Amino acid sequence: MRPLVTCRNLVWHSGDHQVLDRLDLDLEGGESLALLGSSGSGKSTLLRIIAGLEMPERGEVLVDGQLVTQGARLVVPPHRRQLAMLFQDLALWPNLTAAGNVALGLAGLRLSRRETRTRIGDMLAWCDIPELANRLPGTLSGGQQQRVALARALSMRPRLLLLDEPFGGLDLVTKNSVIHEVAKLKRELSFALVLVTHDPAEVRSLCDSLAVLDAGRIADRGRLDDLSAATLRSTLGQAFTKLLAHS
């Protein structure tokens, strides 16, 4: 089967520091991958390169077999890649209501007014926040903001959802509730996801496979059920697997 996303030979520098060093990664359709790595290892950068928000110096990215990025050349713009992203700070547009955020998020799809209204209603209902439609992000709690960001991201009906540590600022109860919401939506809408995180509980609840980014490459990669500390090469992978076993 053809992978949903293929990254080949990606190279990226931050100043003098080589962050990605000929990195290769495949992601299957419907897969839920946890991406681990120490701070500054390039996890967020990799997500941004897949999304088309950042260009690598070398290498290529394919989505569903189609070349979308080749070196520093953007072949397919971000909004045509059938993917969405939940940012660390959620990136909600603060002057628009929850419905306004979803509506503007649909601008690239060129839907009719009626279709847009229906899609907004559906997404807010799916994310369990129909009553928040007219509220501004600043007036919402952290968990409610997460749901609005999720509704906006999923309104594009993406085949891949990229999550860049979006649950960091939430308390335990809210975090659990939002994670279960994402898991439920993933089952219903059957999209693939890549989650950047350091939290074993998030990985256990949302992901079925794991990749460890170390020294600019994927050091370890496999299904969660098959991984054990003994089979992993990276220190971080080994430590994380132990934590995962205890969680």
Give residues in contact with another protein (CB under 8 A).
14, 19, 40, 42, 44-45, 48, 51-54, 77-80, 83-85, 87-89, 91, 93-96, 104-109, 152, 156
Give Cα 73 distance to the centre of its chain.
22
Residue among 156 and 207 whose Cβ is closer to another protein: 156
Residue among 25 and 232 whose Cβ is closer to another protein: 25
Min dist CB 94 to another protein, Å, is: 7
Query: Closest by alpha carbon to 86, among 159, 31, 165, 186?
Result: 165
Min dist CB 53 to another protein, Å, is: 5
Min dist CB 48 to another protein, Å, is: 8
DSSP code of 4? S
Residue among 50 and 232 whose Cβ is closer to another protein: 50
Min dist CB 242 to another protein, Å, is: 27
Taking the C-alpha atoms of residue 151 and residue 22, their distance in angstroms, rounded to an integer, is: 35
Strand pairing partners for 25?
7
Residue among 59 and 200 whose Cβ is closer to another protein: 59
- Listed in sequence order, the residues at least 6 apart from 198 whose beta carbon sits closer than 8 Å to its beta carbon are 36, 165
Longest C-alpha distance within the chain, in Å?
Answer: 56
